[in-house]
A and B are shown apart, each in its own frame.
Chain A
Amino acid sequence: MISFTVNSKVHKLDVAPDTPLLWVLRDTIGLTGTKYGCGVALCGACTVHVNGEPVRSCVTPISQVAGKRVTTIEGLSRDSSHPVQKAWIAEEVPQCGYCQSGQIMSAAALLAKNRSPSDSDIDKAMSGNICRCGTYNHIRKAIHTASTMMRKGA
Chain B
Amino acid sequence: MASAAAGGGLVIGFYLPGAARLAEAAAAPTRLNAFLQIGADGKITFACGQAEMGQGAHNALAMMIAEELEVEFKDVRIEQGGVDPAFGNPRYSGFKALGGFQATGGSSSIRNVGVPVRRAGAAARAMLIGAGAEKMKVSQQECVAEKGWVIHKPSGRKVSYGAVASEAAKIAPPPEAELKLKQPADFKVIGKATKRYDIPLKVNGKAIYGIDVKRPGLLTAVVARCPVLGGKVKSFNADGAMKVTGVKKVVEISSGVAVVADSFWAAKKGRDALQVAWDEGPMANVSSPDMYQSWAELAKGSTAAERLKVGDVDAAIATGAKRVESVYEVPFLAHSCMEPMNATAHFKGDSVEIWAPTQAQSWNRHWVSQATGLKPEAITVHTTYLGGGFGRRLESDYAVEAVEVSRAAGNVPVKVVWTREDDMRHSMYRPASYNVLSAALDANGTVIAWRHRIVGASILQYFKIFAHLMRKDGLDPTSVQGAADYFPYDIPNVYVDYVNNNPGVPSGFWRSVGNSQNGFILEGFVDELAHAAGKDPYEYRRQLLAKPPAARLRAVLDLAAEKAGWGKPLPAGVHRGIAAHFAYGSYCAQVAEVSVAKDGAVKVHRVVAAIDPGWVVNPATMALQTESAIVYGLTAALYGEITVKNGRVEQSNFNDYKALRMEEMPKVEVHILQGQGDQGGGGEPGTPPIAPAVCNAIFAATGKRIRKLPIKTELLRA
Contact = CB atoms under 8 A, between A and B. Distances in A.
Nearest to B52: A96
Contact of A42 (B200, B390, B653): B653
B214 A35 contact: no
A44 to B, nearest CB: 9
A137 B265 contact: no
B414 interface: no
Given A98-B209, A127-B662, A28 B653 contact: no
Contact of A23 (B54, B263, B340): B263
A88 B56 CA distance: 16
Contacts of B214: 30, 32
A33 B265 contact: no
A107 to B, nearest CB: 11
Nearest to A124: B663
B430 to A, nearest CB: 14
B80 to A, nearest CB: 15
Given A23-B265, A74-B204, A96 B338 contact: yes
A43 B204 contact: no
Contacts, number: 172
Nearest to A105: B205
B662 A136 contact: yes
A126 B662 contact: yes
A114 to B, nearest CB: 15
Interface stretch (B99-107, B157-165, B487-495, B624-632): B624-632
B5 interface: no
Interface in A115-154: 122-124, 126-140
Interface string A43-81: 101000000000000000000000000001110110010
A139 B203 CA distance: 12
Interface string B656-694: 000111110101100000000000000000000000000
7 contacts: A35-B338, A42-B653, A80-B203, A85-B203, A97-B199, A97-B207, A137-B665
B205 A32 contact: yes
Interface string B112-156: 000000000000000000000000000000000000000000000
B662 A33 contact: no
B337 A85 contact: no
B199 A39 contact: no
Interface of A: 16, 19-20, 23, 26-28, 30-40, 42-43, 45, 72-74, 76-77, 80, 85, 88-89, 92-101, 104, 122-124, 126-140
A96 B653 contact: no
B272 to A, nearest CB: 12
Contacts of A135: 624, 628
Nearest to B265: A23
In the complex, the 7 A-B pairs of residues with the closest C-beta atoms, listed nearest first: A33-B205, A134-B631, A98-B387, A97-B202, A95-B54, A96-B54, A94-B202
Contacts of A95: 54-56, 624, 628
Interface residues of B, number: 59
Contacts of B208: 32
A38 B337 contact: no
Contact of B668 (A23, A96, A99, A137): A137
A8 B209 CA distance: 25
B654 A42 contact: yes
Contacts of A89: 199-200, 203
B338 A72 contact: no
Given A37-B420, A92-B196, A97-B387, A134 B660 contact: yes
B385 interface: yes
Contact of A73 (B204, B387, B654, B668): B204
A95 B54 CA distance: 4
A40 B656 CA distance: 12
A91 B623 CA distance: 13
A41 B653 CA distance: 11
A39 B205 contact: no
B257 to A, nearest CB: 20
Nearest to B627: A134
B218 to A, nearest CB: 10
B72 interface: no
A71 B227 CA distance: 38
Contacts of A132: 336-338, 388, 390, 632, 635, 659
Interface in B218-248: 220, 245
Contact of A96 (B212, B385, B660): B385
B338 A43 contact: yes
Contact of A94 (B203, B389, B659, B663): B203
Nearest to B629: A134
B195 interface: yes
B665 to A, nearest CB: 4
A128 to B, nearest CB: 8
Nearest to A85: B203
Interface string B617-645: 00010001001101110010000000000
Contacts of A74: 204-205
A58 B541 CA distance: 50
Given A97-B202, A123-B663, A16 B54 contact: no
Contacts of B630: 134
Contact of A20 (B265, B337, B417): B265
B263 A38 contact: no
Contacts of A33: 204-206
Contacts of A127: 661-663
Contacts of B245: 16
Contacts of B386: 96
A89 to B, nearest CB: 6
A137 B667 contact: yes
Contacts of B265: 16, 19-20, 23, 27
B401 to A, nearest CB: 18
B204 A39 contact: no
